[in-house]
Structure 1
Amino acid sequence: MSDEYSVTAMADEGVAKNVEYTGRQLILLDQDDPKAGLDALFSRAGVSVANHIQAGDSAIHALQEGGTVVLDDLGIAIVEAVEGDQRLALKATVDSTPTLESEPERVLHACTEATAAHPMEYFEGYLHGVADLVERVQGNGQVNQSLAPAAAGPRWSEAQATWGLQAILATETTLTGRGVGVAILDTGIDEAHPDLADRMRQSVSFVPGQAVDDGHGHGTHCAGTAGGPRNPATGPRYGVACEADIYVAKVLSNQGRGSDGQILDGINWAMSQSGVRVISMSLGGAVALGAGYSRIYERAARRCLMRGKVIIAAAGNESQRPLNLQPVGMPANCPSVLAVGAIAPDYTIAPFSCAGLNPQGGGVDLAGPGVDVLSTWRNGGYRRLSGTSMATPHVAGIAALLWEQNPMATPAQIVTQLRAGTRDLRLPVSDAGRGLVQAP
């Protein structure tokens, strides 16, 4: 575990266990008069603003230097860690100012299946047995299809396309996502991958000291699922929107971890990119049963909707079905974020997929293929992974297809089409929402 963040294991009612905090505070400012809130923080809590970050700019250096950083376009302040009397003054100021709300800054993680089994050993790489075998035999990370049969058995043949693309009918449509930007907020991307190198429009890192190049693999996998090419260099087709424009914001480190500030910084950037319509976030943090959603992320999601963009996020992998169901994590549990659950090749809900157990937006909206999903990996390779992380870019890709079909559509219209076009799997709404997404 890195020393970068502090770890606090919480066991109080209404608080998820093993929540990781940075010590900083996130302050939601009045959207109509943010200056009044900042003035109150300065005069009564001694909090001074070091930097104002405009749309499209990065707060990475400002956060490293300390002080309070304001993401002006989101109306959110990130307050440096304070202790003692100043901490008490900050809390008193927020509590006594109706236009201010605060949340402790958390550390979120990539949503692969490893989270459920090892909640404090996040994402050193979920190594699927098939991929391990391939790498041992070939030694180069490339998938040899004769060694990697589809895990679904006789129901699916992956000779031409992955089972996930077939299940969502991406192989049956003529739409490709051409002209639509999909932003992948994750661990970065393998910039030299032969399938992705010429597909990226913009890429930027919001992780201090790390380049956008993906030292983990998770972000490369998600980017490949959302927008991999129709004819990849090796193996079957795996990408949904095979001609969409890929935008990459590295908000999680090479260890698969990132602070709220980094993630919000990435959202702020993606929101400013005119070509982006879909923001795919295969990341999250656990929440407790009965807990509410983050007002901070809800503000960010609403601002994105106002700018013609929709955030699609992983529901989380903390469940251990059938006996241990856990609620949809943050930020997917926000009302203005589409939460995606994961299904297996036999159309059952994945055992790790979180459920819609909390009110006020904490439900699952849609489901996507999330078990034994083949996609791109670092060092030009390919790998199979499982998680709601894998389901999320399937849905993001379908959203890109819908926007290609109707470029003038609003986010609300795209969301309505996503929900209306689902396939009913006869699963509980709390598990799969409206059902499995389908290509138009």
Structure 2
Amino acid sequence: MKNSNKYIIQLKDDSKSSIRKTEKDLSIKFTSSAELSSDVRAQDVLGSGNGLFLKNLGLAIVEDYEVAKLHSVTTAASNPIIYWEEDRVFNPVVELDLISEMKDQMLGLSNKLGELEAFIKENKKTIVDKNFTWGLAAIGMGLNNFTGKGVDICILDTGFYAKHPDFKDRNISGKSFVFGEKWDVDAHGHGTHCTGTAAGFISTKDKKRYGVASEANIAIAKVLSDSGSGSTSAIIDAIDNSLEKGHKVLSMSLGSPVQIGEKPSPIFEQVGRKALEQNSLIIAAAGNDSNRPSLPRPVSSPANAESIMSVAALDEALKVARFSNGGINASNGGLVDISAPGVNVYSSSSKNAGNGDLYKTMSGTSMATPHVAGLAALYWEAFPNLSAEGIWLKLEKRAKQLPNQLLRDVGQGLAQII
């Protein structure tokens, strides 16, 4: 009996001989991702007897395959397959259960803002502007002349509301990797919010500045459905496409929980490594599975891969957010690399989602991640000759250390402007 699920296959190498040997052993024919057009996704070519080889990642996707046959092939001598795993479910990493907590936080909001202002004045690195979101003030946008101009940021999420008035003159492209759903509608709203933080600018409603890289080129990859779920196969298909187009920064506010002691997926470790080799930086959310202080949880997949930059969330007092995951699995990978504002973050939203508002305040490591993605674009504008690894190292080096916070929880500290 065949399994209807998809499987991701990691090959020993991406040579023609390895691909042909795998095709022969599995009785399957691979289509290269190089043959896919802007409108064709992996799902369109997958089927019985046909798989997809992602040429930029060295990975393959197969569907409706007998698990027993995969087992027999991977245990055979001279086997080119070194690892395979079943397609995994991913979701937006936004905190959905913060309503009561946020009400409590509002009571002490003035105190938290006072702490933030004192922190900023002490370090003399930014200007508190009443028209900045607290997150932009915290990362130091007040003293910055960079805009991310010319740098491509790809947001892998639920899509984007392309008719948003704040983006009418922006360079935006997109592709959907979700069957039957368009990238430029975003009936969920999560993707539009993350895009706004990474690469938006000023709200036409109240003139509030909420976006980091206001002149970056925006690419949208819809990998999560309107209901908020996606799969490994869709995500790596989108990453392969993004690398093909040469996008510099890939922002992924999505995740799948892992267990204590669980090792990172070799699939995403290879994905992150291939991206770095092609001078692209993948930045991903650490996840929202914790209930601090009593129960911190491990960094989610794919952020737990060493070659993918993991971002934790901070609240307005610059403390690790209650829900933000930590480096519990540090011995097996799964470190937090850096942290950014992730509680009560104001940004753009979609008319097609929820109450149909153009703006929304949300919380989650999802909100922290695009702050860092936007900063990466600013860094690349400032240092165009740096490699992806060089940008990563510079982001960590210039991060603000946070007193009395564990490296396990906040990584190198609060991401800062150049």
TM-score (norm 1): 0.82
Residues 199, 360 of structure 1: alpha-carbon distance in 2 compared, 3 angstrom cutoff? farther
CA RMSD of aligned residues (A): 2.4
User: Hey, what's the Cα distance between the residues in 2 that align with 1:400 and 1:128?
Assistant: 35
1:433 alignment counterpart: 411
1:101 alignment counterpart: 83
1:142 alignment counterpart: none
Q: Where do 1:76-115 residues align within 5 Å?
A: 76-82=59-65, 86-96=66-76, 97=79, 99-114=81-96
User: Hey, what's the Cα distance between the residues in 2 that align with 1:402 and 1:283?
Assistant: 23
1:234, distance to aligned residue in structure 2 (A)? 3.2
> What amino acid is the match of 1:399?
A
1:29 alignment counterpart: 11
1:236, distance to aligned residue in structure 2 (A)? 1.0
> What amino acid is the match of 1:187?
T
CA contact (8 A) 2:42 2:52 kept: no
Q: Where do 1:23-422 residues align within 5 Å?
A: 23-33=5-15, 35-36=17-18, 38-40=20-22, 42-43=24-25, 45-46=26-27, 48-49=28-29, 51-54=31-34, 57=37, 58-63=40-45, 65-66=47-48, 67-82=50-65, 86-96=66-76, 97=79, 99-114=81-96, 152-154=112-114, 159-212=130-183, 213-230=185-202, 232-274=204-246, 276-358=247-329, 359-379=331-351, 381-422=358-399
What is the identity percentage for the equivalent residue pairs of Structure 1 and Structure 2? Answer: 37
Residues 192, 64 of structure 1: alpha-carbon distance in 2 compared, 3 angstrom cutoff? farther
User: Hey, what's the Cα distance between the residues in 2 that align with 1:230 and 1:413?
Assistant: 30
Where 1:54 maps in the other structure, the secondary structure is: helix
Residues 154, 101 of structure 1: alpha-carbon distance in 2 compared, 3 angstrom cutoff? same
CA contact (8 A) 1:55 1:72 kept: no
User: Hey, what's the Cα distance between the residues in 2 that align with 1:180 and 1:357?
Assistant: 34
> What amino acid is the match of 1:39?
K
1:87, distance to aligned residue in structure 2 (A)? 2.2
Where 2:250 maps in the other structure, the secondary structure is: strand
1:206, distance to aligned residue in structure 2 (A)? 0.8
1:360, distance to aligned residue in structure 2 (A)? 3.8
CA contact (8 A) 1:161 1:237 kept: yes
User: Hey, what's the Cα distance between the residues in 2 that align with 1:151 and 1:247?
Assistant: 38
Q: 1:47-84, CA deviations, whole angstroms, 9 ceiling, x for partnerless residues? A: x12532218744344356553222122111111133xx
TM-score (norm 2): 0.86
2:124 alignment counterpart: none
CA contact (8 A) 1:34 1:75 kept: no
Where 2:88 maps in the other structure, the secondary structure is: strand
User: Hey, what's the Cα distance between the residues in 2 that align with 1:432 and 1:248?
Assistant: 28
Where do 5+ consecutive residues of structure 1 fail to align? Answer: 1-20, 118-125, 132-148
User: Hey, what's the Cα distance between the residues in 2 that align with 1:22 and 1:151?
Assistant: 54
CA contact (8 A) 2:22 2:81 kept: no
CA contact (8 A) 1:55 1:269 kept: no
Moved more, 32-41 or 167-176: 32-41
Q: 1:76-107, CA deviations, whole angstroms, 9 ceiling, x for partnerless residues? A: 1111133xxx4212112113336421111101
2:122 alignment counterpart: none
1:24, distance to aligned residue in structure 2 (A)? 1.8
> What amino acid is the match of 1:170?
M
Residues 406, 257 of structure 1: alpha-carbon distance in 2 compared, 3 angstrom cutoff? same
User: Hey, what's the Cα distance between the residues in 1 that align with 2:68 and 2:10?
Assistant: 18
Moved more, 32-41 or 328-337: 32-41
Residues 22, 195 of structure 1: alpha-carbon distance in 2 compared, 3 angstrom cutoff? farther
User: Hey, what's the Cα distance between the residues in 1 that align with 2:100 and 2:276?
Assistant: 36
Residues 55, 153 of structure 1: alpha-carbon distance in 2 compared, 3 angstrom cutoff? farther
Q: 1:129-176, CA deviations, whole angstroms, 9 ceiling, x for partnerless residues? A: 999xxxxxxxxxxxxxxxxx9894555677311000000001221111
Where 1:191 maps in the other structure, the secondary structure is: coil
